[in-house]
Structure 1
Amino acid sequence: MNDKVKIDVRNLHKSFDGTQILKGVALEIRDGEAWVLLGSSGSGKSVLLKCILGLLDVDAGDVLVDGAVANSHETNKSSCFLNKIGMLFQRSALFDSMTVWENIVFRLMQTKVCTPAEGRQLALQKLSLVNMGPGVADLMPADLSGGMQKRVALARAIAGNPQILLLDEPTAGLDPILSKGISHLIADITEELNTTVISITNDIDSALVISDYAAMVHNGQISWSGPTQEIETSGDPQVQKYIRGWVAERAKRGEQPNTKKERR
């Protein structure tokens, strides 16, 4: 990590049908940092992520990536901007009609970055990074378990060696054991590639593994932000509500809560 600001969210506003969803959100993320956005359903965290990605136009404010405004129509559709970003979708979003390797390099082949032969070799390399062997390359998504689909989706997200990785609920739908495995895999890969990460999750166990910093999004604003390991002592009522729910959930599983950052 260094002092260079990679993503600069400035006074972001977004409304739908007259209802304000984002109300002046501001956030600075430095090169190589890993952030997690926490918040209840409807808090605005998913909208914020989509605005950063350029999937939604903003009403006011700016998103700067490497100092350049990224929320203009010209910028967010340019290959230069898109090639900086990898996205892991909540439900993996694999194409049912394509094999595993075709899914991984689909965008790269569509933009003629590589030939099919080169794409297959690249896909095998990325499969290795997510601890999957070459035997799965020619399988279809329907042949894979949920955990395997998530790893293939992660391989696709890093296929173009992105500078920024956006993760939408990376452990959603997985049991605690698979969730822990995916979280550590993400931490390993993003640290190795020195990728800047923004993740949305309600899984504090996962947040403690994959992120350096956390931001609580509440009612369209960031109510608290700081090092992930300081979540428990933040004093923010929304964060504390999360902590109470997390402690109760772990108690059901017979586990002791531990908000110390595991590793990254």
Structure 2
Amino acid sequence: MIEVNNLEKSFDDVQVLKGISTTFEEGKTSLIIGSSGAGKTVFFKCLLGLFEPTGGEIIYDGDNSANDTKESKQERRKNIGTVFQYSALLDFLTVEENVMFPLEMFSDLSRSEMMDRAHEVLKRVNLKEESFKQYPAEISGGMQKRVAIARAVVTRPKYLFCDEPNSGLDPATATVIDNLIQDLTKEYNITTVINSHDMNSVIEIGEKIIFLSKGLKAWEGTNQEILHTEQEDVFNFVYNSDLMKKVREALIREGK
């Protein structure tokens, strides 16, 4: 679990985060959403440890980051898996070498043990063995995203952070990736936090949703609750697309 208490972040004289408090639970997919400039990327990077908060605290399973030493921060980093927006695979490494890379950095496994672990997670994300020796440029965008997910979970992390994991994917592939992330979250009991603007992801896997507006937590709830919200900023964000307007009309017709 990650607990966030009154988190603030400023850059010079500009306050971007203005006292955000929330929790992210184990075994659940939590999404951070909001319009451009809402502060969600800064919030996400604070959680990930890339930005130091100006005020407040982030507690990772009872470990307060405000008390971090260099050693404790490095130790936590071993328990974090990250899926980057555009996969960020190393183009000079094969698929299996990309997945082994975090193990080479953070584990004491032998080469053969690392290979076995990499193959295990690659199979778990439904990649065929013939792709293991290929390079990122030789596989599709959807397959690259699967490799990125495999790389993120190969160290068996406590925390998984995904930054716009569906960026650049077609809707069908995006849904597959969403479901894969949720399945792995439950299977490995990971605390998963996703930074997203994709309403399909919100509806598909948003077990908890944090909506930010102007640096504040303006709303939080589940993917079912957000469909019925009357909070104006959230409503406008959710029903901005033609697809979601049709969903709203259908809910009204069904009396839900």
Query: Which of 84, 87, 96 is residue 82 of structure 2 equivalent to?
Result: 87
Query: Normalising to structure 1: TM-score of the pair?
Result: 0.88
**Higher RCO structure (Cα 8 Å, ≥6 apart):** 2
- State how far apart, in whole Å, the 1-side matches of 2:64 and 2:225 are: 31
- State how far apart, in whole Å, the 2-side matches of 1:89 and 1:237 are: 31
**Residues 1:179 and 2:174 are matched in the alignment:** yes
Closer/same/farther in 2, CA of residues 228 and 250 from structure 1, 3 Å limit:
closer
Identity of aligned residues (%): 35
Query: Which of 142, 149, 157 is residue 137 of structure 2 equivalent to?
Result: 142
Counterpart position of 2:124: 129
- How many residue pairs match? The answer is 250
SS in 2 for 1:109: helix
Counterpart position of 1:262: none
- State how far apart, in whole Å, the 2-side matches of 1:217 and 1:34 are: 17
Query: Which of 96, 101, 124 is residue 106 of structure 1 equivalent to?
Result: 101
SS in 2 for 1:62: strand
Query: Which of 167, 186, 191 is residue 191 of structure 1 equivalent to?
Result: 186
C-alpha RMSD of matched pairs (Å): 2.0
- State how far apart, in whole Å, the 2-side matches of 1:151 and 1:238 are: 33
Q: Where does the alignment leave 5 or more consecutive residues of structure 2 unmatched? A: 252-256
- State how far apart, in whole Å, the 1-side matches of 2:33 and 2:106 are: 34
- Would you say the 8 A contact 2:28–2:186 is kept in 1? no
- State how far apart, in whole Å, the 2-side matches of 1:256 and 1:78 are: 44
Query: Normalising to structure 2: TM-score of the pair?
Result: 0.91
Query: Which of 226, 237, 240 is residue 242 of structure 1 equivalent to?
Result: 237
- Would you say the 8 A contact 1:37–1:217 is kept in 2? yes
Q: CA deviation at 1:250?
A: 5.7
Counterpart position of 1:209: 204
- State how far apart, in whole Å, the 2-side matches of 1:256 and 1:23 are: 33
**Residues 1:218 and 2:213 are matched in the alignment:** yes
Q: CA deviation at 1:73?
A: 4.8
- Would you say the 8 A contact 1:213–1:225 is kept in 2? yes
Instruction: Report the residue type matching 1:208 in the other structure.
Output: I
Q: CA deviation at 1:75?
A: 5.9
Q: Where does the alignment leave 5 or more consecutive residues of structure 1 unmatched? A: 1-5, 260-264
Alpha-carbon displacement from aligned partner over 1:176-213 (angstroms, at most 9, x marks no partner): 11111111111222121121111111112112222311
Closer/same/farther in 2, CA of residues 76 and 91 from structure 1, 3 Å limit:
farther
**Residues 1:118 and 2:118 are matched in the alignment:** no
Q: CA deviation at 1:71?
A: 4.7
Structure number with the higher helix fraction is 2
Instruction: Report the residue type matching 1:160 in the other structure.
Output: T
- State how far apart, in whole Å, the 1-side matches of 2:218 and 2:70 are: 30
Structure 1 runs (4+) greater than 4 angstroms displaced: 255-259
Q: CA deviation at 1:57?
A: 0.9
1:25-174 alignment, distance < 5 Å = 25-74=20-69, 78-174=73-169
Counterpart position of 2:254: none
- Would you say the 8 A contact 1:76–1:82 is kept in 2? no
